[in-house]
Structure formats: structure tokens, C-alpha cells
Amino acid sequence: MVEIGGYPFNKPELLKQALTTRDYSKQAKDKGEDNVHHQLPMRTLGDKVLSTLLAEHFYRPDISQKELKDLMVPIERRSGLCILAKYLDFTERMFTSDDEKENDKHKGDRVQAETSEAIIAAVLLDSDYYTCSDVVLGWLRKTGQLPRKPILPQNQITPR
């Protein structure tokens, strides 16, 4: 079973893609390997998913946009995503190019933050919105970035 942060993947290829840099994918293609997908599209999705989860978590009818953003931004920033990356401890599991390994680029804050976003997307694609919400918000609680109980009354999107 392939897992990260206690989440077991049904489709391990999604986690592999989330952990694969574009440079590694290009290097693999140059060596004749086909279908080595990289994390770039997942990073974009993961960024939006994280924003949605946080907005839903902190939302209340009388909250101002500024208050909502003030609660979300510290978690969405690179530094907040690096806290999550440290918790998930995926650096040694990443698929990186020879150059990235040689220069320890995969250990940099930018790559760590972007990979965290890709992993969030992988969890969503492997499961569903509600499972992803439980998993990601659980990770954020374990890192101390979210209080154990919501600061504000929590809004729940009702299933269709």
C-alpha cells in the first residue's frame, strides 16, 4: 500500500505523478521512457483545492473578505506549505532529475511547497471532495496550522 501522511492511495500512480518534477519527466522522456507524467497540472489543481477547503472551513455569513483572507493566507503561503511538506516528509520519495539531485533543488522551499499542492490534488483525484477535505484539514491540524476546532462556526457544503 502506498501512502503519505497516513492516507493510503487507491491509485498509487497519482502520488507518483505528484512527486515527479517536470525536469525528471523530461529527462525520462529523453531516455526513451514514455508516459512519465509530472506534477505541474496537479500543482495548479492542488492550489485551488486548498483555497476552497480553507475558504469553506473558515466561512461564516458575517465574515469579511479581509478576515477570510487573513485566516487563509498564512496556510497558503510558501512557508505554510513548507510546514505541511515537513509533516508529509516526502523529499526522499520525489522523482527528480540528476541535476535537481546534484544541486539539492528538490529540497528548496519552492519545490517543497509546490509538491505539497500536487499531493493535495492527488488525494482529491484518488478519492472525493469530502475525503480530501478530511485528510487535508487533518494534516493541517496535525501541523498546528489549523486549530483542532474551527475558530469560526464552520459552514458545510451539503452534498447534492
- In the predicted structure, residue 45 carries a pLDDT above the cut 90: yes
Instruction: Specify the pLDDT at position 83.
Output: 96
Residues 6+ apart with CB under 8 A from 160: none
Cβ 113 vs Cβ 86: under 8 Å: no
- In the predicted structure, residue 12 carries a pLDDT above the cut 90: yes
pTM metric for this prediction: 0.88
> What mean pLDDT is reported for the chain?
90
Rg of the chain, C-alpha, whole Å: 16
- Boundaries of every domain in the chain: 3-142
CATH superfamily of 3-142: Ribonuclease III domain (1.10.1520.10)
Q: What spatial distance separates the first Cα and last Cα of the chain, rounded to whole Å? A: 32
| Span 21-33, pLDDT tens digits | 998 888 888 888 8
| Span 142-152, pLDDT tens digits | 999 997 655 54
